[in-house]
Chain A
Amino acid sequence: MDLFLPYIACLTFALALFAALKPSPLKLRVTLIVIAVAASGWLIGLITGSLSAFTDASQGVFFVIFSLCAIGAAIRLISHDRPVYCALYFVLVVLSTAGLFLLLEAEFMAFALIIVYAGAILITYMFVLMLSNQPDEMNNSSLLSYDSIPREPASAVAVGFLLLCLISGTVISGTEMLPEQGTPQSQWATLPHLSKQFEASVMEIDPAFAWPPIEDLNGNIIQFNGDDAFVVSSEGKTLILPIDVLPRNTQQVGWSLVNDFPVSLELAGVILLMAMFGAAILSRRAIELGEQEKRSMFASSSSNRSNEQGNEE
């Protein structure tokens, strides 16, 4: 691989991004964004090598589609004039990211991302946008001047270009220094902890399976022979576990969450609670009641009460 090609791709990306941030007619802007997306696709292609890097070609094609979608929508997000459309383009980024997660076999996180981000957080953003969006009276259009004129695009894109060069340089030189790839066998480590499911699935394969005594189990009950995982009964019989006995992605993530990060889980709960209190306190509007209003409120409540008493009688 030519040493300078990735940096040329980074430079093309940065120049197209800079030009796309300037206010310009829609057609020119879309063309510039397409150039920026093409440059980022070139960069990804240079670093990945070829589609054969993926397990099969369709996975590589989907990777390219989802990543280019995410990058294009992200650029449109930071260059669009209207904040509501920015929020909608962010939904597109979230959906593409969820697609990438599906390719990475993180099914639970993919759908959690769509539910939490596209479903909850984005709705909050849309609410605030709708609450606060007012047309500008000055130039008599529905576009706000602070939305269409960028602030310091040149220096921002320069910083972004340097950061992108640093990241791509690190990724290129770092791929040789990566740690050993994990083995698929580590996926089996969760199964003995899900003891009921483990027992039921073993019983389903071989109802006469004799469990070894409990003191012999100590953690390494599942053994490996090449690609196959198997358990050994107390009679010395081996039982090969089929791949569909493997815990599902949600079970794996859940086990890792409560087993490896219990304190962080508690902290996350506290953070969410505090954020809820903080938001409620910040956004409440204190209503000052005048003397007259207090009196009328008291009068209406006492008259209500006398009405209720009258009904009861």
Chain B
Amino acid sequence: MMTSSALAGYLIVSGLLLVIGIVGFFVRRNLIVMFLCTELMFQGAAIAFVAIGRYLFDYSGQVMVIFILTVAAAEAALALALVVLLHRQRDTLDSDVFGELHE
């Protein structure tokens, strides 16, 4: 069994991970680390899903984590392919350099 205050503890941990991910996404200028920060936000969401699923004894919460993994894998593949493409063009990973997309 899981008390509601234990659930609150798990939810605040997931909220903290989400907030750190958002701050990191704004603060970092390296494209790859920015994408790592989005993965951090996914982790926060996954903890919230599993904790609420455990509280309600509903396994849909864990199934949602499978879908989160799917989206994260697809996002990583596409984003990293784009990063490799951009790095070939400008020879840098600084996101500010790509502010102007024209040649």
Contact = CB atoms under 8 A, between A and B. Distances in A.
Given A74-B40, A168-B15, A186 B83 contact: no
A47 B9 contact: yes
Interface stretch (A93-101, A201-209, A211-219, A298-306): A93-101
Contacts of B15: 164, 167-168, 171
What interface size band does chain B fall in?
35 or more
Contacts of B55: 178, 181-182
Given A53-B3, A260-B60, A275-B77, A168 B12 contact: yes
A132 B70 contact: no
What secondary structure prevails in chain B residues at the interface with A? helix
Interface string B53-77: 1111111101101110111111111
Contact of B12 (A47, A74, A93, A187): A47
A63 B5 CA distance: 13
A71 interface: yes
A90 B96 contact: no
A163 interface: yes
Contacts of A183: 57
A260 B53 CA distance: 14
Interface in A250-294: 252-253, 255-257, 260-261, 264, 268, 271-272, 274-276, 278-279, 282-283
Nearest to A49: B5
A113 B65 contact: yes
Interface residues of A, number: 96
Interface in B5-49: 5-13, 15-24, 26-30, 32-33, 35-37, 39-40, 43, 46-47
Nearest to B76: A121
Contacts of B39: 90, 117, 121
Contact of B81 (A179, A181, A283): A283
A8 interface: no
A272 B50 CA distance: 23
A156 interface: yes
Contacts of B74: 271-272, 274-275
Nearest to A100: B47
Closest 4 CB pairs of A and B: A78-B24, A182-B57, A275-B74, A156-B26
Interface of B: 1-13, 15-24, 26-30, 32-33, 35-37, 39-40, 43, 46-47, 50-51, 53-60, 62-63, 65-67, 69-78, 80-85, 87, 91-96
Given A121-B39, A186-B57, 7 more contacts: A63-B6, A131-B87, A156-B23, A181-B4, A182-B58, A261-B63, A282-B78
26 contacts: A44-B13, A48-B6, A63-B6, A71-B17, A74-B16, A77-B24, A90-B36, A93-B17, A104-B54, A113-B46, A121-B39, A121-B72, A125-B35, A128-B32, A128-B84, A146-B95, A156-B23, A182-B56, A186-B57, A253-B62, A255-B59, A256-B62, A272-B74, A279-B77, A282-B85, A283-B84
